[in-house]
């Protein structure tokens, strides 16, 4: 992930282009972000949507940088939504039409499954649900920590955390199946 989305456009292009050159030379792919996806990836706080991705800018950006995947802003936020999420579907359609690399949707935790299925149908190839995964992991930690500490059983705690995360992932995979 090469995220310079908070920089001015040309600086973002330059930063990502250099990251792509370095990564591709080592056989790695790069995802970049264009538009402003408000929120904090590390601390879930309620926020509103940021500056939305311009479809023509997205096409220019992906072409000039050589990025392998592009995270876009269509009304999505990192963390917790302040109100019911509202995506700009026409914008997503236009971006999908103009951009030839896979599109990524950051900030999908708390977005109704039907909206996510619609996003997939409209061209989203990668969906991030970090906040939902963290919540499940931390809930399992809180629930199982006492017993783990009593028996110094780190493996049991780890199994509970893993199972909680797997449950969220399985539910998301089922929900995303758009056949």
Q: What CATH number is given to the structural domain containing 43?
A: 3.20.20.70
Question: pTM, whole model, 2 decimals?
Answer: 0.84
Last residue of a domain, one of 90, 112, 128: 128
Query: Does 140 share its domain with 116?
Result: no
Query: Does 92 share its domain with 73?
Result: yes
Say if CB 65 and CB 5 are below 8 A apart.
no
Say if CB 73 and CB 36 are below 8 A apart.
yes
Query: Does 118 share its domain with 151?
Result: no
Query: Does 124 share its domain with 134?
Result: no
* Whole-number Å distance between alpha carbons of 66 and 99: 11
Residue 76: other Cβ atoms inside 10 A:
30
Query: Does 97 share its domain with 150?
Result: no
The predicted model gives 122-151 an average pLDDT of 92
Query: Does 106 share its domain with 178?
Result: no
* C-alpha dihedral sign at 134, 117, 174, 35: negative
Domain that holds residue 139: 130-179
Query: Does 88 share its domain with 160?
Result: no
Query: Does 15 share its domain with 63?
Result: yes
Percent of the chain with pLDDT over 90: 68
Query: Does 104 share its domain with 148?
Result: no
Query: Does 87 share its domain with 115?
Result: yes
pLDDT band for position 147 (cuts 50, 70, 90): confident
How much is the pLDDT for 83?
Answer: 82
Q: Count the domains in the chain.
A: 2
Instruction: Output 178 or 127, whichever has higher pLDDT.
Output: 127
How much is the pLDDT for 179?
Answer: 53
How much is the pLDDT for 178?
Answer: 55
Query: Does 36 share its domain with 61?
Result: yes
- Residue 47 pLDDT > 50, yes or no? no
Query: Does 102 share its domain with 142?
Result: no
């Amino acid at each position: 992930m090469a995220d310079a989305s908070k920089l001015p456009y040309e600086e973002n292009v330059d930063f990502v282009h250099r990251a792509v050159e370095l990564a591709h030379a080592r056989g790695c792919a790069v995802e970049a972000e264009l538009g402003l996806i408000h929120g904090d990836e590390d601390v879930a706080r309620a926020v509103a949507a940021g500056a939305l991705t311009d479809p023509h800018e997205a096409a220019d950006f992906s072409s000039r940088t050589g990025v392998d995947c592009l995270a876009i802003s269509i009304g999505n936020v990192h963390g917790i939504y302040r109100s019911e999420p509202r995506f700009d579907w026409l914008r997503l359609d236009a971006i999908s039409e103009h951009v030839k690399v896979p599109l990524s949707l950051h900030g999908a935790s708390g977005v109704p499954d039907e909206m996510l299925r619609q996003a997939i149908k409209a061209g989203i190839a990668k969906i991030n649900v970090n906040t939902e995964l963290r919540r499940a992991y931390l809930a399992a930690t809180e629930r199982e920590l006492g017993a783990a500490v009593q028996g110094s059983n780190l493996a049991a705690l780890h199994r509970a955390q893993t199972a909680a995360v797997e449950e969220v992932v399985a539910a998301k995979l089922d929900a995303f199946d758009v056949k």
